[in-house]
Structures are given as C-alpha cells and as structure tokens.
Chain A
Amino acid sequence: MQEPNPATAALPQLPKAPTGIVGLDEITDGGLPQGRPTLICGSAGCGKTLMGIEFLVRGIQNFNEPGVLMAFEETGEELAANVASLGFDLKELQDRKMLRVDHVHVDRSEIEETGEYDLEGLFIRLGHAIDSIGAKRVVLDTIEALFSGFPNQGVLRSEIRRLFRWLKDKGVTTIITAERGDGTLTRQGLEEYVSDCVILLDNRVIDQITTRRLRVVKYRGSTHGTNEYPYIITEDGIAVLPVTSLRLDHEVSDQVDSSGVPALDEMFGRRGFYHGSSVLITGTAGTAKTTLGAAFAQQVCKEGRRCLMFVFEESPQQLIRNMRSVGMDLAPLVKQGLLRIEASRPTLNGLERHLVTIHQLVKEFQPSAVVIDPISNLISVGNINEVRSMLTRLIDFLKVNNITALFTALVNTRTYQNEMTEEGVSSLVDTWISVRDLEGVGERNRGLSILKSRGMAHSNQVREFLVTDKGIELLDVVIGPTGIVTGASRLTQQLQEHAQTLAAQQETDRRDRELERRRRVLEANIANLRTEFESVEEELRQINTQEQTRHQTLTSGKQRIAAANPPAQNAPAPGESPE
C-alpha cells in the first residue's frame, strides 16, 4: 500500500512476520512485528481467537514457522473442533510437531493463595513448548483469564509485563488476545501498553446488520493503514477487506468490448466499451436494465470469454427463463462454464461479505467481465456512505484486475435521480447509460441514452428501444414536429411520413406523365411543320424547274433563228455583223 521511500530503503526496515490472513498484511504493510508481541482486542464474538489460530496455521502452512497456542479459555479439543469448519486441522499439525496446544486451566476455586508467588510456571510451560518444536509464533488466547484465577493483581501485572519482555527476548512473534474493557482497549488496561502492535476488532450492529471492523490502533516502528477496515469470517478464515488501491495507476486496455446490442455499439464512437472499464446502466423500474446486462454477459460468453453475473433480485433459473423470453438462451453458456450466475439476497449478508464473495469468486473464476444487477439493492444493507465505499472498492478492484464491469442501478421513478448513482458511483464509472420511460399519451416507451463515455465519442440521441423476442432492438430516430417521437406517435408519424412519401411519389409520377404528353404534342407539331415545309419546298423546286425549262427553250429558239439567216461575207461571228 505504501510506496517504499528510496531514502529510507537503505535503512533496515522493521522485520515483519506475514500473517497470511487475507488483507491484513496489506493494512499492516507486511505483517505483524516480528519477534514482538501484538495485542488483538475486541468484544465477544469478534473472532480474536480465530485470528490468532489462523495466524498460527498460516504461519505453519505458508511460512513453515511452527507455533504454540496457549489457550486459557478453551481446551485443545474444543478449539480444534471450532476451527475444523474452516479447514484447519489442528490435530494433524500437532502430530507433525508444527503446533503445540497447551490449555491452561485457571480456576479460582482450586487455587489457594498462601503467600508470595510468581508465574514462573507459565513461563516454563511456554518456554518448554516453544523449545520443543522450535516455535516462531505464539498465541496466548486471553491472558486476562489469569486475572480471574489469581486475586493478587500486583503480582499479575508485573508478571505479565515480564512475560511480554520475556517473549520479546525469546524472539517469537506473539499474539495476545484480550477482551475489550469499558472505555479502554482491554479490561486490565495493561496489554495495550506493553504490546508493540495493537489491533482492535469491533463488532457492530447497525440497522440489524452486523459488520465487523478492524483497526490498527498502534504499530511501533511502522506505517500502517489507520482506517477501520471491514472484515469477515469466511469459510476459509478471516478476510480483511482488501484495501482500495489509493493510487490510480492501473493498466488500461485499448480493446473494446461489445455491449451485445449492435445498435447500441453504434452509438459509441468505438463500437462498445473499453475493456476493463466500468459501465453503469441506470433506469427506472422495468426499463430492461437486467436484459441489457444479460445481453452484455451473453456477448462476452459468445466471444469465448468468461463472465460472472451477480443477481440480487432473481434466482439464476428465473433469470435464465426470463432471458429466454427475449431470445437469449443463457443456459448453454452456463453449462459450458463460460457464464456463472450467483444469486443472493442483498440482506443475506453484510456489504463486506458481498464484497468478499465477489472478490473470492472473481479470483476463483477469473472472468473477463462482471455484471452486477442491481447495485442499488445493496442500499438496503447499509447506508449510502457504506455502499458507496464498498462500490468504490469493488470498482477499483475490478479495474485493477482489468475486468469489464457492468452495474445496473434502479433510480427513482419520479426524479430520475438517485443520490447514490448521482454522487457516489457515477463519478467512478467510465460509461453511463441511462434507460428511462418516455411516457407519452397513454403509453410508456423505453428510451436509451448515453450520459457519458470516457475516452470515446458517443451519440447524443435518445434512442427508443424495444425488447422483442429476438432481443433488444434499438429503433431509428424519428423526429416529429415536437422532437423525437416514440411508441404509437412514432408509428403515426411513420404512417404520416409514409403517406406523404406516397403522395409525393404520385405527384412526381403525374408530372412525368404530363411532360410526356407535352413532349408528344410538341413532337406532333414538329412533324406537321416539317410536312408543311416539305410541301413548300416541293412547290419552290417545281417553279424553279419550270423556269429552267423555259430558259432553255428560249435559247434553243434563238439558235435556230440564227442558223436560218447566215451573216454576209464570211462573217466570223454573228456578233460582229455590221448591222
């Protein structure tokens, strides 16, 4: 969580013993102080003992460090039975000489104080147990039980101080558990001062829902997360809620995931969402948010990738049936193992458990996309702040893991707004699609618009969409006199437009025919004129021919006259005759 400072990196860091408990090592920046005592305090039912045992078991399993458990309240058999459900086999670990459980029985009625004493017996027992298996880790489960057995507080206090010192000298990493006192961290007000690290567990009930929280109160010589972190006890032990990565430096992808609705893809500049981004679909009740979510899930699976769906409203069977009615068959995808549907009631668990469940399933299933339907239902589990912080963590977690996340959220029908989505989540998500009712005259239609889409151009239109038995269909935009029209008015508008087009077509046809007619009339006229012209031409030609004939006749007549009257004296030419 903390970036190692290069300036201090050269100095020896406080050695730490990793606990192996999910999330705790992140908060403590590596684990508990090695070779030093750590106090875990909390009220009843917080999981103090469990945390201690898990510390030992993980130490053995993950780090090969043997451990000693000194139990003051429960016997070894009881403890073994208690943690067996978590898969911890204390008996086997004891047989392997990796663990030693020593039950210290303290009973006031059996003990008679007869003078001065010390707790050397305890030291010897512990020392013997540590040495016999070479233990590196020690858990003292509720040391304050001693106070009920030994009335001499002065001796006890000084002896417990001595014990802490002695444990430090032994170099074992120790966890001491203690009950929480009134106004103090522990009943005796002693352990927290002699421990190097104090972890406070808290069990709170708010609005009938229990949340467990953990806080590192002090940690000598190390930085640590100071907030309260929710934690839960799962089937695998304690899980402290993974801390939000405070730095925004996760890898980003340039790939684009299709939304599963082709027309919706087209509304985005790059035809889909960026892979690894988070998408929020908000809408009023019955606006097909789930269907949009399922369409996306189906698309992811169709591409051969895995998708994880969390549904808080329906059972998987119900979801599959309902989606089948809109032409989406999810059952084969589930069978193929590509799709996994996890259904639970939001109120079943606290928010933390939901978050941890999601974390665990994501880690286990390794999906490419996660669909959560709807996040607004989680409001019933916690207050807005808690839900927001949980969602922040969730979105962050999915982003860091490069998983596309699609959330749906129900918004208030009247205001079309919801505080959570407005202030809380919307700033975290990359793409925000809003679906809503477009209520018109006597009917409701669904409209879809993109409110934001980081890093890509997107359509600004409100598109009407239909949920048909073939899936979701986005309709083309129809613009009427008063703007975009939907539903029946859209049909009316379309009919009107159709009629208009038809009329226009007829008009065009009519004009075409008129033109043709005119053309034909003109052509007829032209033909007439041409005929007229031809007859005139004929006439003229005839006149011309007659003229020529006349001229020739005249000429030939003159010649004949000349031949009949020859000229006197060899007249060379008739022209020269001296007449």
Chain B
Amino acid sequence: MEPLINPADQPEHAGPEYVLHLFITGATPNSTRAVRNIKDICEQHLKGRYELLIVDIYQQPELAQQEDLIGVPTLIKRRPGLVRRLVGDLSDYERVLKALGIMPTLGHE
C-alpha cells in the first residue's frame, strides 16, 4: 500500500493525476466490459488527467500473486490518495466514481 502522496512532490513528479491499473483475463465478457467501461469513465471525467494500464494476467500470471488479485477484473487506483481496489466489470458507474474520488457533480455535466 502506498502512503498518501505528498502534494509537494506532485509538481516534481509531473505525472498524470490519476494512475489506474486494470487487470483483466483475456477476452472474457467481464473483461471486455470492464475495459469498455473504464475507458468510458476516463474519457468522460478524467480526460487528460489519467494514465491507464491494462494488464492481461493470462499473459503475466506472476502478477496475480504480486498484486494479490482474487476477483477479476480488478481496477487498482494507485493515485491519487489511498490505493483502492475495484472488483467487477465497472458497470456501476456511481460506485466507481465514488471509489475513484471523482465528485459525482462532475458526472452531471
């Protein structure tokens, strides 16, 4: 688990505000849905502010243990704030946004 990111570091880091890792298992329906959903959400709410990494754990099975994955698909939000794990195909937008710390008001554009 990573500590809270010190705001002072952020400018130096110069990385994107949101770092998201999505672990999927090949082209299963859940996985494809998850990919579609996260892309949707990012484009809608975090345009230009995010980095999304999609990993197929069929290809890299050792990552499953490293990342302590159980349910798939899993989205791990590394930044900002606390690390959160979101299990499921991300079709429940409200919960996803809440978990990612994106203000729901932003979603009512």
Contacts and interface: CB of A to CB of B under 8 A. Distances in A.
B9 interface: no
A122 B70 contact: yes
Contacts of B86: 112, 114
Interface stretch (B13-21, B43-51, B90-98): B90-98
Interface stretch (A103-111, A454-462, A463-471): A103-111
Interface in B58-109: 58, 61-62, 64-65, 68-75, 83-92, 95-96, 99
Contacts of B70: 104, 106, 119, 121-122, 146, 149-150
B interface, how many residues as a size bin? 20 to 34
B64 A125 contact: yes
A513 interface: no
A124 B34 CA distance: 18
A interface, how many residues as a size bin? 20 to 34
A360 to B, nearest CB: 39
Nearest to B58: A124
Interface string A92-134: 0000000000101110001111111111111011011100000
A125 B57 CA distance: 9
Contacts of B58: 124
How would you classify the secondary structure of chain A's contact residues: helix, strand, loop or mixed?
mixed
B65 A113 contact: no
A289 B37 CA distance: 85
Contacts of A120: 25, 28, 57, 72
Contact of B61 (A112, A125, A150): A125
A119 B58 CA distance: 13
B99 A125 contact: no
B31 to A, nearest CB: 9
Contacts of B69: 121-122, 124-125
Nearest to B91: A115
Contact of A117 (B61, B87, B99): B87
Interface of A: 102, 104-106, 110-122, 124-125, 127-129, 146, 149-150
Given A112-B88, A115-B92, A116-B33, 10 more contacts: A104-B68, A104-B70, A110-B84, A114-B89, A114-B91, A115-B33, A122-B69, A124-B64, A128-B61, A128-B62
29 contacts: A110-B83, A111-B71, A111-B87, A112-B99, A113-B92, A114-B86, A114-B87, A114-B90, A114-B99, A115-B34, A115-B90, A115-B92, A116-B30, A116-B33, A116-B91, A117-B72, A118-B30, A118-B71, A118-B72, A120-B25, A120-B57, A120-B72, A121-B70, A122-B71, A124-B72, A125-B64, A128-B62, A128-B64, A129-B65
List of 9 A-B pairs having minimum Cβ-Cβ separation, nearest first: A121-B69, A115-B88, A115-B89, A128-B61, A115-B91, A114-B88, A125-B64, A117-B71, A120-B72
Interface of B: 23, 25, 28, 30, 33-34, 37, 57-58, 61-62, 64-65, 68-75, 83-92, 95-96, 99
